[in-house]
Amino acid sequence: MAQPNASEPLESLQQCTEWVLSGARQPADFHIGTEFERIALGPDGRPLPYEGKDASISAVLADLSRLYGWEPYQEKGRTIALFRDGASISLEPAGQLELSGGLQATVADMQRELHDHMAELQSVLEPRGISLVHVGLNPQDSPASAPKMPKGRYGVMRAYMPKVGSLGLHMMHLTCTVQTNFDFVDAADAAQAMRLGHLLTPALIALFANSPLLEGRDTGYASFRAHIWTDVDKDRCDTNHFSFRPDATVQDYVDWLIDVPLYFLDALNDDGSHGYRELPERTTFRQFFDHGALGRRPTLDDWVLHVSTVFPDVRLKRYLELRPCDLVPEEALAALPALTRGLFYDLEARKKALELLEDGNMSIDRPALRAQACLNGLAGVSQGRSIGEIAKEVLDIATQGLDRLAKAEGRDALAYRALDPLKAIAHGKEQSYSQRVLRKWQADPRLAALADPWPKAK
């Protein structure tokens, strides 16, 4: 599908839909991508500030660039991201370090990427006394006390968030997630995959729940991070009016997104680096197209930027993003891409999952089921539906899907083992991640007590 010049004004809003669908691939070309964020903790027990000689974000990024060939990306003279071979290391608003992995064909490939990434980080962080914390929510800080990163878009968002919800600043400065990105064949396939992702969300929230604390207190939630998204920005997060409809299409999603207000537009900083310019009044992308804004018309680049500023549990770009999960410890990070691959890329598994989750049953209160998962995790029940039992069956279906894919492709034979940490929790053999965090915090209420020790050299 031919694409217009990204810097030329759009001729029609249909080009927005065409851009999304230009990402379609054949199954033989499918890949999986993984993104996850961690809190980097200095020797003082505090999340790293941006500036500083030794224990700082800027020093870490400089070391990674110098030692391992990551290409720095700067804004106003400050490095805010690194790029290498289709992967990136970037900064969330409070300095959460995010790895956006490259495109991987198999779960085993993703695990190798993770292993190599963690080895590089250890070589840079451990000598500086820096550790990593794998939790869904920083339990020690408030939005005000958390570090602030020098990225222009975050400055605009900090001013905007309190106008549209009470928990937006908490989302920005305290939360960490793991997500997977995956492919689709065509518009119908993308629409069905989006719907399945939303149907799966309660089970995913419950399995990965790892954020029971806020500002030192037990919130009573298994995943307070997932709950936060209910009061961030309804315009950007809530697609429930069509997400579960069997007849919903990619065009419905694009139409929804076109009517979401813009955060900002691209602008150049004084030094020529990329920056952002906020709009003086509420302007949707449709209004931008119809009337222009800040003296210009929208381009495809504007659309691509806008697509990245909405936050539903399942987000559609030129691929799909599964976003509802809390960050979990390193040994379980491969579980989400494995689960995604087994459920979405094996058509028999997808069909079974849709049947299990009663696709098309509009009498089920899906938001209530999601709320139960946030509050009670696998123990949640809504309208007689046990989230724990649903999660067990989802894991079984994914295991079968991974096994069929392995036999068909002659590879990835042990990908289902990546699900073992989740199976142990679902079957009660291990405590949930949120229970483990609570236990550690009660014994030692410091963020440093939740940090993971670096593995010893063999």
Distances (CA, A) of 381 to 159, 204, 323, 373, 386: 37, 14, 22, 8, 5
pLDDT tens for the 458 residues of the chain, in order:
445 567 899 999 999 999 999 999 999 999 999 999 999 999 999 999 999 988 999 999 999 999 999 999 999 999 999 999 999 999 999 999 999 999 999 999 999 999 999 999 999 999 999 999 999 999 999 999 999 999 999 999 999 999 999 999 999 999 999 999 999 999 999 999 999 999 999 999 999 999 999 999 999 999 999 999 999 999 999 987 899 999 999 999 999 999 999 999 998 888 888 889 999 999 999 999 999 999 999 999 999 999 999 999 999 999 999 999 999 999 999 999 999 999 999 999 999 999 999 999 999 999 999 999 999 999 999 989 899 999 999 999 999 999 999 988 887 677 889 999 999 999 999 999 999 999 999 999 999 999 999 988 66
Instruction: Give the closest residue to 359 by CA, choosing from 249, 243, 255.
Output: 243
What pTM was estimated for this model as a whole? 0.97
Q: What is the pLDDT of residue 1?
A: 43
Q: What is the pLDDT of residue 454?
A: 94
Q: What is the pLDDT of residue 328?
A: 98
Fold of 14-447: Creatine Kinase; Chain A, domain 2 (3.30.590)
Q: What is the largest CA-CA distance in the chain?
A: 63
Q: What is d(CA 60, CA 323) in angstroms, rounded to the nearest whole number?
A: 27
Q: What is d(CA 34, CA 277) in angstroms, rounded to the nearest whole number?
A: 30
Q: What is d(CA 430, CA 233) in angstroms, rounded to the nearest whole number?
A: 35
Residue 119: CB partners within 8 Å, gap ≥ 6? none
Are 326 and 433 in contact by the 8 Å Cβ rule? The answer is yes
The beta strand positions in 269-379, using DSSP E, are 274-278, 314-316, 320-322
97 three-state secondary structure: strand
Structure tokens at 227: 């709950």
The size of the chain, in residues, is 458
Residue 398: CB partners within 8 Å, gap ≥ 6? 338, 339, 342, 343, 349, 416, 419
Q: What is the pLDDT of residue 353?
A: 98
Q: What is d(CA 133, CA 327) in angstroms, rounded to the nearest whole number?
A: 10
